[in-house]
A and B are shown apart, each in its own frame.
Chain A
Amino acid sequence: MNCKCGRDAVYLRVQEGVHYCPACLSRQTERQFEKTISKGKMLEKNDTVAVGVSGGKDSMVLLHLMKKLSEKLPMKLIAVTVDEGIAGYRDRSIGAINEFVKAMDIEHQTFSFENEFDITIDNLVKNDPSIKSCTYCGVFRRTLLNKAAREVSATKLAVGHNLDDEAQSILMNVMRGDVTRMARLAKTSEHFVRRIKPMKNIPEKEIVAYAILNNIPYFDGECPNSFNNARRDVQALLNNMEQKYPGTKSNVISFYRKLPTLEEKGIIMRCAKCGEPSSHETCKACELLDKVGTK
């Protein structure tokens, strides 16, 4: 099996039946990354970009690609990590991040649920083992990432969502009948630091291949609380469909992007309790904090 350049292939893109060698696959990934940024007008010269880094393969590859791009497009990069308070998981991934940012000479700041919300995910689960911790974790993480980006004076917040994540989000919104959230996927509010997803057109599999081929370290541990998570089911469903019908994930995204622009009902205002952006009088993070009896 040879790449079109004649070298030995290491990867087959099933949908198109095209083989790639390490150099061509890496180049293709970098091109897709830059094309997405340029098409979405995601970055400008001298931006300060907060890069959300969890230590997993997506965010470590994102940080590597952003650093590489900063050699062509001058910008300031600050890696920001959210520590949810999950012992044996996040503390280990933070170890991997510390080494990586040091080697790449990138500033790094960590923001914890404990300092910000006076909770840890471990304590939430300990107090109520039936709690849907992924909901709490997702809401608090989104709120804290936005806050972190503001605190480091970032003009953009880059996150490592890949093509698979995008397809899953679209399908989950369809399954929930949540048109408002679907509309929000494509929009940005002035109350938030602009969130950019430069890897949203790169399949998860190619991100892992890129990490391996470019010796990018990442933490591949599994969150101990993620077993009861709707996204997991949608992920499995999409992977099964992709195996049987190659191109399914891209088609889900393509379908969504072809829809007429969805109008988001309601306006984004400030939460009456914490002042963070919210589509209701009280934001989701404060609503959940009330539920678990803190602050």
Chain B
Amino acid sequence: MKVKINDNSIEVDKDSNVFDALKAAKINPETVLVKRNNKLIPHDAALKDNDHIQTVTVISGG
């Protein structure tokens, strides 16, 4: 199925969750929180076809 992370569309297996999508996008789950419809969701939340999720960077930039 197709999932959009920020501005990038990726293909993930059916029944994938946030962890799987982050892994496919080569994003370390430790470094981000994830929002769907502007609300935080846990990393093991299931994703549906055409879901759009946004990452919030956790690590300090200082």
Interface residues, chain A, with chain B CB atoms under 8 Å away: 1, 9-12, 14, 19, 22, 54, 56-58, 164-165, 204-205, 208-209, 212-213, 220-223, 226, 235, 239-240, 242-243
Contacts and interface: CB of A to CB of B under 8 A. Distances in A.
Nearest to B43: A12
Contacts of B28: 239-240, 243
A1 B61 contact: no
A204 B59 contact: yes
Nearest to B57: A220
A250 B40 CA distance: 24
B30 A220 contact: no
Given A208-B33, A212-B33, A239-B28, A220 B61 contact: yes
Nearest to A238: B30
A239 B30 CA distance: 6
Interface in B5-60: 28-31, 33, 39-45, 56-60
Nearest to B18: A12
Given A243-B28, A243-B30, A204 B40 contact: no
> Among B31, B42, B56, B57, which residue has the most Cβ atoms of chain A within 10 A?
B42
A21 to B, nearest CB: 10
B60 A56 contact: yes
Given A205-B33, A240-B28, A242-B30, A213 B58 contact: no
A1 B34 CA distance: 15
B61 A204 contact: no
A1 B60 contact: no
B41 A10 contact: yes
A204 B58 contact: yes
B5 to A, nearest CB: 17
Contacts of A212: 33, 40, 56
Nearest to B39: A10
Contacts of B40: 10-11, 22, 209, 212-213
A57 B57 CA distance: 11
B59 A235 contact: yes
Nearest to B23: A243
A134 to B, nearest CB: 9
B61 A226 contact: yes
Given A11-B42, A19-B42, A220-B57, 11 more contacts: A1-B42, A9-B42, A11-B33, A12-B43, A14-B43, A57-B60, A205-B30, A208-B56, A212-B40, A220-B61, A222-B61
A9 to B, nearest CB: 5
A242 B43 CA distance: 14
A186 B33 CA distance: 31
19 contacts: A1-B42, A9-B42, A10-B41, A10-B42, A11-B40, A11-B42, A12-B43, A12-B44, A56-B61, A205-B30, A208-B56, A208-B58, A213-B40, A220-B61, A222-B62, A226-B61, A226-B62, A235-B60, A240-B30
Contacts of A221: 61
A235 B31 CA distance: 10
Nearest to B45: A1
A212 B56 CA distance: 10
A222 B59 CA distance: 10
